[in-house]
Structure 1
Amino acid sequence: MKIKEYMDERFPSLELIPSIYNQWGLGIHFCLGENIYQLKENEELNLKRFRIVYDQISTIFNELFEHNDDILLVTNMYKHKTKCVRKLKVYQPYLKCKNDLKRIHVKTYPYPFEIDKAEEYEMQQFSLLCKPRDLRVTELLKAASNEDFPLQPRFGGYSIDYPDVFFVNITKDIIFFIYDDRGCEVIALDFERIRPLYEKHHDWVEEYKYIYQEGQN
């Protein structure tokens, strides 16, 4: 299954770009890092915070995804239309089987954000149908959260903006997005799929939306 076919069928009004939580009626917005600042007083990175972030996102992922779930690993790369860019280093370092690289689909879209001269840029969306067991998940999650800081691992090959990576669970109809070390978003077709996550990790929740529950109160 290709990502456009899946999104059109299951999440037809959703654009797969940052702030999926704000676009959908059922979801959870998590705040990461336990309010520990990224830098110490001497301006060094506070690695304690990042260890907490890595633990939180791994916990969330493991409670949303099982090894045999079918998922689409989707990456948005933002680039200048005419300038050459290096090969995107999101899939190659984190796939256990390099032959899977041959199955990646790519489609080009207009640049999705409002900036000056937006017409000079574009978004290339890469997607791969796989299973969590096919990925080096721990390192992939860390790279997704290391966007703003010189920490390893990191995604490479991008030109203007750090790539956005979405984990789309097509078995459970759940989408998980880490926007950086500050937080992540989870949306679902059925809130019951993510209710246990909400109840178990309520202290991490920044906001949540459950439109049917709100309508009953």
Structure 2
Amino acid sequence: MQNKLYPFMQNHFDGLVLRSSLFYSSKYGLRFEISIPGVDHLNKRNLKQMKDRTTCLFDHVFYDSDEILLITDVHTMKLDRFLEKRPTKVYQKYIRSKDTRYKLIYELFNFEEEDEDMVTHRFILPCQKHVIRYQQLLMAISYEDFPHPTQLLKGSQHAGIDIYFVNVTRKMIFHLYDDRGCDIIAFDKEDLRSLYREFNDWILDYDRVQIDNMMNNQ
């Protein structure tokens, strides 16, 4: 199956490499605060805010008919063969359609040039919104740094994970990097305008000046 990710990134994001902190690597992006600072992770009010914010932002970025690439990067030691042999729980648990899972693409590469012992297992799945149990998956991502049954890399303590939702149709990328925040970048700044206006109170204060300047300057 043809891998659309790299031509897409080359054509619309100047060849940007999908890595953590997308906001700081892209020309047009927003960074939203997800959890409540200083509040216990399992606090009911905090869990409700995480669910509400991640769901609202996701629904705003992805429409039912959009073509999506669901990308899971697992960063681990080269000698750790466990994750090389099978996809993570992301596709087994959070994709409703077995037929869709057959489209999964696998790649292996080295992100960390200075550390030859580290590799990244990348899984790419072309799909649409309706086959993703995205509310549950977003909450699982939010739980990843805490002891919880939904941990995606449970039993692989020396590995890290990043999950990207690429909207091929609208040329936008959604990255919930952990329970603290979410990066949303776009090919066209105007595609971020409604997010910027409707969810302005959620913008991470640390990056607010940079975001305001980006959105308000010609």
Aligned residues: 207
Instruction: Give the letter aligned to residue 170 of structure 2.
Output: K
Distance 2:186 2:153 in 1: 29
Cα distance in 2 between the residues matched to 1:16 and 1:209: 24
Tell me the amino acid that sits aligned with residue 25 of structure 2: Q
Question: 1:159 offset after TM fit, Å?
Answer: 5.5
Give the SS at the match of 1:185: strand
TM-superposed deviation, 1:125: 1.2
Letter in 2 for 1:55: D
Aligned to 1:42: none
Q: Deviations over 1:24-81 (max 9, x none)?
A: 1111011122335225xxxxx3232122111100000001111111010011011211
Deviates further, 30-39 or 125-134: 30-39
Name the counterpart of 2:182.
Answer: 184
Q: Secondary structure at the match of 1:119?
A: coil
Q: Which runs of 4+ in 1 moved over 3 A?
A: 111-114, 156-159, 209-213
Structure 2 residue matching 1:163: 3-state secondary structure: strand
Tell me the equivalent position of 2:193.
Answer: 195
Flag the 1:18–1:160 CA change in 2: closer, same or farther, 3 A.
Answer: same
TM (normalized to structure 2)? 0.87
The correspondence of residues 83-94 of structure 1 with structure 2, limited to 5 A, is 83-86=80-83, 87=86, 88-94=88-94
Provide the residue aligned with 1:106 in structure 2.
106
RMSD over aligned CA atoms reads 2.0
Q: 1:124 aligns with which of 121, 125, 128?
A: 121
TM-score, length of structure 1 as denominator length: 0.87
Contact kept in structure 2, 1:75 and 1:166, CA below 8 Å: yes
Instruction: Tell me whether 1:146 sits opposite 2:143 in the alignment.
Output: yes
Give the partner amino acid of 2:5. I
Question: What percent identity do the matched residue pairs reach?
Answer: 30
Aligned counterpart, 1:33: 35
Q: Equivalents in 2 of 1:159, 1:79: separation in Å?
A: 9
The residue matched to 1:30 in structure 2 has which SS? strand
Question: Does the Cα contact within 8 Å between 2:33 and 2:203 map onto a contact in 1?
Answer: yes
Following superposition, the deviation at residue 83 of structure 1 comes to: 2.4
Structure 1 residue 209, shift from structure 2 partner:
6.2
